[in-house]
Chains A and B, each alone.
Chain A
Amino acid sequence: MLIREVTIENFRKFRAPVRIAGFSPGLNLVCEANETGKSTVLEAVRAAFFERHGAKSERIKSFRPHGDEVAPTVTVVFEVAGETWTVTKQFLQHPSVSLTGPRSRHQSDEAEEKLQSLLGFARAGNRGSDDDSRGALGLLWVEQGQSFILGPPGQTARRTLEDVLAGEVGAVTGGRRTVAVVQAVERALAEFLTPTGKPTRRLLEGQQAAGQAEQACNEAQAELRQFEEVLAQLEAKRGELRRVVRDLGDAEATEQANALRADLDRARLAAERLHNAELLFERAAGERARAQTQVETRVQERARLELAAISHAQAQAKADEHGEVLSAAKSAETSHAQALEQARKALAKAEAARESAVRAQLAADRTRALQSAFARLDRCKAIAEALVVQEAIIKAEAIDEGRLERLDQLDRAVLDARSACEAGAAVVEVHLEPGAAEVHVDGQLLRGDLRRAVAHPLSLMIDGVGRIDVTPPATGEAAAVRLRTAEQDRGALLAQIGYADVAAARAGARRRREAEAEHETLEGRLSGECPADSALGLPAGLPALRAGLADIARPAPEQADDAALKAAALAADADLQAGRAAEKTALGRRDGSAEALQAAQLAEVRLAGVLDAAKTHHDRMASELTTAEQQASDEVLGEALRRASAAEALANDALTAAQRAAEGLDPTVLARRLETTERRRQSLLDAQLELAQTLARLEEQAKTLGAAGPAARAQAAQEAADLARTDAARLAEEAAVLQLLKTTIDTAQAQASRRYLAPITERVAPYIRRLLPTASLAFGEDLRPSRLIRGGLEESADDLSKGTQEQLAVLTRLAFADLLLARGKPASLVLDDALVFADDDRFETMTEILTEAASRMQVIVLSCRTSAYRHVVEATRLTLER
């Protein structure tokens, strides 16, 4: 398949004719800038082949340049199997198509069919061509933006490929026949079921017809049932009317009603008599009961009077007994009051005696306390004098601990300075022999030996010898100054505290410490001699002791007789305790007798009240009985009771006779029975009328329904429904058979497809390896590239990058085209703005592959990237000629 030349007019942006000529059999490049109409060229070529010239769909209308009512026209010159053909197709206005070949010319639908058979695509549908109809070339001529879609080939393309593949694997027997059979089965199945398996056309009509026949049958059956029901009702109502007429003419029922009326009259009379007898009996019984009540009341009143008399006598007896108890209680209370008075006098006397003993004891205690206090005061005075002595010593020795410490520091400073002075000084030692000449040291005669550190220049004069000067080194001067200063400081402190030297000062300090210790001891003793004195009410301390004793005369030293005083106090305490016990005892007895007297007096009052009430009650009862007896004596009451009892017996006899007469004659029951009888007769009369009316209506209905022949109609409808059901079942079975056949063929095709996939995989493998060295591509049953296997790992093709997907899609199409070519089918590859997502390396690899493919088939590349294809020197470069 080679495209040689394309001419376009009135198509989208090409109002004026545009021609592209000079297509080579190899690689063709149409590189133009954006918006120049490259994609429109491809669309026009696809329209010239795949769209029907007479179509008027929206897509076809979109071919017109905007706003112009013109006829889009496309002419393509192409070669198939070595023969050159020209197709010219005009759309919308005066649509036409012509196909001119080397030996023939075709017009209209014939031209369309010839094109389809030449190029292997299917007739487009009402909405225009689609992937399914465009066939293999539609798959290989890729529009802009479609090159990266890794979809399955359309139906026609797939069948073409499968056909080719079947040839490849040597399994072709009737490939076309298979297609024809499949299409025939699909067409037949479409008469029964939709693609989704729902009933349609013949099956739907059959099912609807069966449903309608079923409904008609049901209606006819219902009509028949209604007719039969009317007949049954008619028969039943006739029988009912016969029974009603018979019951209305029954003489026995009439006699029974008359007898009931007579019985009812008798019953009403007897009931009235019985009512009167009952009233009379009730009255007599009331009279008798009243008389009996009066007699019983009299007896009860008499009994109550006797009881009152007994109660009165008992109350009187209790009051008399209580008089003795009361007088005994009064005398006991009097004697106990006197005993209490005597006990209280004895107690007052004992208390006075004890008070005087206590006072004597207290006076003796105070005297002893005063003697002790004065003795302590004397000792304190002696201690105070000793304290004065010690304080004088402390005051005389001015060197306290602080000063002593200071003196020690200064003394240590002098010793340290002296040691330093002596360490840096020369020492002069002079040992004179007996009879030696006189020696003067610094002008003073030396007696005995001399040993001195020389801190200052020293002069030794030896008679008869001369003068020896000793000069100390200059470094000893500073030590001599520090020694002098230290000695001055120590001398100043000694002068301040009044001591001649350090030894005297240290002796003074020792004396002061001893005096302070003694002073402290004396202070302690003084404090011990002056404790707080509770007996005299004195606080602790010498001043308090002195102040407390200042105005008190020192008591005489004689001693009181403590033992006699304590004995007297104990005796007084014992007497007082005994007196108190006697007083409490007498008081308890007096209170007890007073309480007993009070209780006896209360009991007397209560008994007097009871006695009075009993007497009053007895008197009232006696008075009431007397009054009653005066009104009606016992004899009168007894006579009245006898008369009333006799009258009640007579009334009872009359009542019994009336009850016997009314027995078995209940007017209510009789009236109800009579009413029931009459109501039954009335209902029979009503039913007779209603039945007559119903019978007339049913007879009319039976006549109307029977005229239509319902049984025959029901039979006919049943037969029609059975037939329709059988038809529907037969159609359903036929649909199931076709469905099974289609499913089986589909399964067989799928299985075959799997076998067919191997050639595709083999053809695409070298391309894939050049692009992705370690990868291979696997296809699905629908010939769609489904998985990329890279380094043993499988990736879904959908998960790959857009760029890789596009490259795989182009390579897959190339493999398809190779397959078609191998079987002598028309194939060429057209790519519009493809490979836009490829990186530089892959783009170069892809252009190499396309260039190689161009040695086997025509490849047309439409691109806006002129520079990208500059390196492809083998390509034929074409431009749009306006």
Chain B
Amino acid sequence: MAALSAGQDLKHLVARIKLAGLLTLGERVAVRERLETGLAHEVRWLDLSMTDLFARPTDNDLAEIDAQGVLREAAERLRALAGEPGEQGLRAMTALERLYVEHQKAQRMGAA
């Protein structure tokens, strides 16, 4: 990102970014947020594909959602589902990520 910014006028940049790899859930959410809410508004046009950027939720990720309450229970269930192969597993992973994001939002609003 820093390299992109250096000496480039981002307003004239047209980019197609395809990400691949394995991150923790928190990291993936952070990457997505940085690209979608940051870079996407800075460049002229951005085609972003994160399909191949997989997340592996860690215990820390889940602990950030909830220690032992309802949301933690839901997160555990989704992590178990995400371990299954196929479309259902991917969907559960996405749902877990959404839960992580919504929880962060609620936390921010609570802090505010």
Contacts and interface: CB of A to CB of B under 8 A. Distances in A.
A180 B106 contact: yes
Contact of A177 (B68, B95, B110): B110
B68 A173 contact: yes
A191 to B, nearest CB: 13
Given A747-B77, A748-B77, A174 B98 contact: no
Contact of B92 (A166, A176, A740, A751): A740
B73 A752 contact: yes
**Range for the number of chain A residues in contact with chain B:** 20 to 34
A733 interface: yes
Contacts of A173: 66-69, 72
Contacts of A175: 69
A178 B69 contact: yes
Nearest to B72: A173
B70 interface: yes
B71 A737 contact: no
Interface residues of B, number: 25
Interface of A: 166, 171-178, 180-181, 184-185, 188, 733, 736-738, 740-741, 744-745, 747-749, 751-752
B98 A741 contact: yes
Contacts of B70: 178, 745, 748-749, 752
B110 A176 contact: yes
Nearest to A733: B91
Contacts of A751: 73
Nearest to B63: A173
B94 A737 contact: yes
5 contacts: A177-B110, A180-B106, A184-B105, A733-B91, A747-B74
- Interface SS, B side: helix
A188 B95 CA distance: 12
Contacts, number: 83
A744 B74 contact: yes
A180 B105 CA distance: 9
Given A173-B69, A738-B98, A748 B74 contact: yes
A192 to B, nearest CB: 12
Contact of B95 (A178, A180, A740, A749): A740
Contact of B78 (A166, A172, A736, A744): A744
B71 A177 contact: yes
B10 interface: no
Contacts of B56: none
B111 to A, nearest CB: 11
A185 B102 contact: yes
B69 A741 contact: no
A188 B106 CA distance: 14
Contact of B109 (A180, A740, A749, A752): A180
Given A173-B69, A178-B71, A748-B70, A184 B95 contact: no
B95 A172 contact: no
A212 B51 CA distance: 28
A184 B68 contact: no
Contacts of A747: 74, 77
Contacts of A741: 74, 78, 95, 98-99
B107 interface: yes
A642 B26 CA distance: 136
A752 B71 CA distance: 10
